[in-house]
Amino acid sequence: MINLLPKENKIRAKKDFILRLSIVSGVFMTLSILVAIIMLIPITWELYSQNKSASNMLSSSQGYLKMSNIDEATLEAETVNFQIDTFFENEKNITEIGGVIKSIITERPSSVKITAINYKKKLTDNTRNEITIQGQSLNRQDLLGFIEKLKQNPDFFSVASPTSNLLKEFDVNFDITLEI
């Protein structure tokens, strides 16, 4: 298509187009920069807070190191090492109570009903842990067989059954104490 405008109008139209294009580009660039600044403000604030927190922690730890001396640190390290050694030593003495209770339940005849199992942890090194079993048996013979099975179990050091367990022939309420 032929442009019939005079030359001066063509130049002015071109200048107006360039002016509009530069104004739109400038506004777009300004808005882009403003959006970027708005998006970076929270990140900048977070980094500033973290930097300040790290500086405070560093200065407080340096102050702590200046105040403490090597003897105190050595004493504290020895105390912690003693506690760790004690913990691991006690860890070796732990009895797996779940396996012991499972063996009690599996050795129980069907006519013996267990109503309670109580566990008593040893208080000194001279005593053993105890499990007390309470229950009811339909007859004395089944209870005696159950006690005999418990005595043969290597998990138990001793099995104590008071004579009161043997007084009745039928419907026997019993208490058995096992040392593990």
Q: What is the pLDDT of residues 108-166, one digit of tens each?
A: 998 999 999 998 887 776 677 889 999 999 999 999 999 999 999 888 888 998 888 88
CATH superfamily of 97-179: General secretion pathway protein M, EpsM (3.30.1360.100)
Give every CB contact of residue 15 below 8 A, 6+ residues apart in sequence.
Answer: none
What ranges in the chain are assigned the alpha helix state H?
A: 7-67, 70-92, 97-107, 140-152
Edge-to-edge order in the sheet of strand 112-120: 112-120, 130-139, 170-179, 158-160
Specify the 3-state DSSP secondary structure of 112: strand
Q: What is the pLDDT of residues 3-38, one digit of tens each?
A: 777 888 889 989 999 999 999 999 999 999 999 999
Specify the 3-state DSSP secondary structure of 138: strand
Least confident of 83-87, 145-149, 170-174: 83-87
pTM of the model: 0.48
